[in-house]
Amino acid sequence: MKALIVNCSPVRNGATAEIARIISESLSKRHEVKSICIDDFAFAFCKGCRTCHNTAKCVQNDDVGKIIDCYEWADIIVSVSPSYWADIPGQFKAFIDRCTPWCNTHEPHAALSAGKKGYVAALRTGSSMRECLRIFETIEHFYGHMEIECCGRLGLSSIEYKDDVEGRKAEILQFCDSI
């Protein structure tokens, strides 16, 4: 199987990237793995024109299609997201907004291949899991409209820096064993 690991943070070398790296390394023992960072792509905000509701295509021509190609390639998608003000980072939210052409809420719509499995790993700096729950809800809502089956989640609180991840590695690897 093919697994896509998505670093939903614009930071390529922080705690989120470290968790994504551990997940990629673990899953690569059983799956073909591709890792991407949302900040590796250039795309604009949704214009709200709703043209895609009639055409199943966006009027903008940028890197959203490249990200969708990665989603299409994968059988398993693992989104790794930090909390930015109690939700996903704006860059990832902008990507989700641009996925309206593939969203199952209107016809016609484009679609990913059936049978994709989605997982979420969420992290936050504070000790409460509440923000992680909100991240799960946001990404799982997105998965639902993209017809990606929600299959598992990992919440990690009290992680601010990359060095904080090492002490939580066993939890991360246990999550990987469930994928």
Q: How many CA atoms lie within 13 A of 5 on its CB side?
A: 24
Q: What is the pLDDT of residues 147-158, one digit of tens each?
A: 999 999 999 999
Confidence of residue 100 (pLDDT cuts 50, 70, 90): very high
Residue pair 123/16 in contact by the 8 Å Cβ criterion: yes
- Give how many domains the chain has, as a whole number: 1
Residue range of the domain that includes 166:
2-177
Tell me how far apart the alpha carbons of residues 2 and 31 are, in angstroms, rounded to a whole number: 6
Average pLDDT over residues 51-59: 95
Percent of the chain with pLDDT over 70: 100
Q: What is the pLDDT of residues 13-27, one digit of tens each?
A: 999 999 999 999 999
Amino acid 115: pLDDT: 98
Quick one: how far is CA 149 from the chain centroid? 13
Instruction: Specify the CATH number for the domain of residue 109.
Output: 3.40.50.360
Q: What is the pLDDT of residues 64-87, one digit of tens each?
A: 999 999 999 999 999 999 999 999
Amino acid 59: pLDDT: 97
Q: What is the mean pLDDT of the chain?
A: 97
Confidence of residue 57 (pLDDT cuts 50, 70, 90): very high
Tally of CB atoms within 10 A around 140:
17
